[in-house]
Structure 1
Amino acid sequence: MDFLRPRTLDEALAMRAERPDAVPIRGGTDVMVEMNFDRRRPGALLDLAGLAELDTWHRTADTVRLGAGVSYARIMAELADPLPGLAMASRTVGSPQIRNRGTVGGNLGSASPAGDAHPPLLTAGATVEVASTRGTRLVPAADWYLGVKRSALAADELITAVHVPVAAGPQQFAKVGTRNAMVIAVCSLALELAPATGAVRVAIGSAAPTPRRCPDAEAYAGAEFADRRLWTVGSPLPAVLVQRFGELVAAAADPIDDVRSTAAYRRTALAVLARRTLTWAWREFRDGGRRCA
């Protein structure tokens, strides 16, 4: 196996074009595990750890351009205010050591349905920036996931950044696992309220071949909030609304039975997570932005 170590992003893109069999590696929290268990044996590793171009983030008025090499630990420490949902998800990733090495870029590269970063990226309407020697293009997160561990990334491309809209309202993230820390999600869910547009956005992970939004649940909640004038009245959420929202989120899933859970349990857990996160986010909205969980 060859080990390629570029010094600049341009060098990395050239190597990627010459060696499409090379697997990009940054933190290695997914790739090295697969190699250690002999589930993967690539022809080469393309080490991106020395590329300063991937290590920065920049905020404009309404968007954060998050470099693909920014770690989960930095997201937690530096971006909890503009990107609270992604910061919440980052706190649930593995151990402190993994959070210091792992990145959202790596999550997108592996495209595992269980990746913790995926649901908050979907609810935020994020865009993935990829580059090659042919140029740069932007891929909406909604179009990124093509199947189990399959993404829209071409063989000669590298993920360089993610463009994430700054939170326009309360955001929440929750997941279920076999324990509280260092665990792969049995299922996960991200939710965002957008008071300016009246939208309720929700996405699920580890409950279908790909992470996905829940359009029926979103449409139902948006209509109920509008019909009941909840955005202006600010009254507590009716129990029937919360219950039905959870049922629609669960119905959006397409889970399987595996070593971590049954499909039935995943659907039940998603309904519970949907009810809880909607209640937490609404409470935060009514309390004037004080986060609840």
Structure 2
Amino acid sequence: MDFLRPDDWADALALKAAHPDATPIQGGTDVMVELNFDKGRPVALLDLNPCRELFEHTEIDGRLRIGAGVPYTELINRLGDRLPGLAQASRTVGSPQIRNRGTVGGNLGAASPAGDTHPALLAGDAVIEVESAARGARMIPIDEFYVWVKKNALESDELIRAIWLPPAEGPQYFSKVGTRNAMVIAVCSFAVALYPGAGTVRTGIGSAGPTPLRAVPAEEFLAAELPWHDPAPLPERVLREFGALVSAAAKPIDDVRGTADYRKHALSVLARRTLGWAWTDYLAERKAA
């Protein structure tokens, strides 16, 4: 197995073009596990750690641009106030050591349906900036990024450069169910984000389908039902219908972590709870205003 170490980002793109089967590695929290358990042995590893621009984040024209190499710890500590859903998801990733090394860029590259940040990225309306040496940069909306189990929309010569997200304009929440309380792969996970200005809602479902999913019928139902301009506590009917629509949108399977029926039930509960927390925050914000 070859180990490719570029001098900078331009060199990394050139190496990826010359070695399209090379697997990018930065934090290594997914790649090294597969290597250690002999579940995969790529032809080559492309080390992105010399590309220091991947570790930067900035705000451009009202949107946050987060380099693909920014670790989870940085997201939590530096951007958690503006991206609360993504920060909540990042807190559930592995141990402190993993959060110090692991990145959202790596989560996207692996494209595992169980990846913790995917629901928050879907709910947060992320856009993924990718680049190749031959064609330059392009932007992929998060809804178009996931193709199949552990398959994303990148071409063979492309690398993920950054993730673009608008700062939260309303409450955002993430929650997941695992087989234990910490350092666990999700049995299922869910995220919700409220957009009071537009009167819309976005969701994200993880570990309950071949790819991360949105529950679009649930979003449309909730956007029409929420009393945005005259906020009041939500009726139990709305919470339960939202949970049922989220459950119906899932496409789970039975596996060693849980059955499809359990995942559907758990998602309905997570949806009700996260919505309840988000709406309580919205009521508090409106009251304070």
TM-score band (shorter)?
over 0.9
Task: Give runs of aligned pairs for residues 112-191 of structure 1, distance below 5 A.
Answer: 112-134=112-134, 135-191=136-192
**Corresponding position of 2:283:** 286
Contact 1:249 1:274 in 2 (8 A): yes
User: 1:234 deviation in Å?
Assistant: 1.3
Counterparts of 1:131 and 1:201 in 2: how far apart (Å)?
27
1:216 aligns with 2:213: no
**Corresponding position of 2:101:** 101
Task: Give runs of aligned pairs for residues 197-208 of structure 1, distance below 5 A.
Answer: 197-208=198-209
**Corresponding position of 2:30:** 30
User: 1:168 deviation in Å?
Assistant: 1.1
1:237 aligns with 2:229: no
Contact 1:170 1:289 in 2 (8 A): no
- CA deviations 1:180-215 (Å, max 9, x no partner) are 111000000010111111112111000000001101
Counterparts of 1:35 and 1:70 in 2: how far apart (Å)?
23
Between the two proteins, the alignment pairs up a number of residues equal to: 286
Counterparts of 1:48 and 1:201 in 2: how far apart (Å)?
32
- CA deviations 1:141-167 (Å, max 9, x no partner) are 100000000000111011000001111
CA RMSD of aligned residues (A): 1.1
SS of 1:186's equivalent?
A: strand
**Corresponding position of 2:261:** 264
User: 1:60 deviation in Å?
Assistant: 3.2
- Could you tell me the TM-score, scaled by structure 1's length? 0.96
SS of 1:209's equivalent?
A: coil
The residue type equivalent to 1:252 in the other structure is A
Counterparts of 2:40 and 2:122 in 1: how far apart (Å)?
28
The residue type equivalent to 2:209 in the other structure is A
SS of 1:233's equivalent?
A: coil
Counterparts of 1:197 and 1:43 in 2: how far apart (Å)?
47
User: 1:81 deviation in Å?
Assistant: 1.1
**Corresponding position of 1:8:** 8
SS of 1:288's equivalent?
A: helix
The residue type equivalent to 1:234 in the other structure is P
Contact 1:63 1:165 in 2 (8 A): yes
Counterparts of 2:36 and 2:286 in 1: how far apart (Å)?
45
**Corresponding position of 2:18:** 18
**Corresponding position of 2:196:** 195
User: 1:36 deviation in Å?
Assistant: 1.0
Task: Give runs of aligned pairs for residues 240-251 of structure 1, distance below 5 A.
Answer: 240-251=237-248
The residue type equivalent to 1:113 in the other structure is P
User: 1:172 deviation in Å?
Assistant: 0.3
Counterparts of 2:153 and 2:67 in 1: how far apart (Å)?
18
**Corresponding position of 1:76:** 76
Counterparts of 2:61 and 2:268 in 1: how far apart (Å)?
35
- CA deviations 1:106-164 (Å, max 9, x no partner) are 00000000011111111111100001112110000100000000000111011000001
Q: Cα gap change, 1:6/1:277 in structure 2, threshold over 3 Å: closer, same or farther?
A: same
Contact 1:6 1:12 in 2 (8 A): yes
Aligned with 1:254 (options 223, 247, 251)? 251
The residue type equivalent to 2:170 in the other structure is G
Contact 1:129 1:161 in 2 (8 A): yes
Counterparts of 1:289 and 1:102 in 2: how far apart (Å)?
36
- Could you tell me the TM-score, scaled by structure 2's length? 0.97
Counterparts of 1:198 and 1:94 in 2: how far apart (Å)?
35
User: 1:289 deviation in Å?
Assistant: 7.7
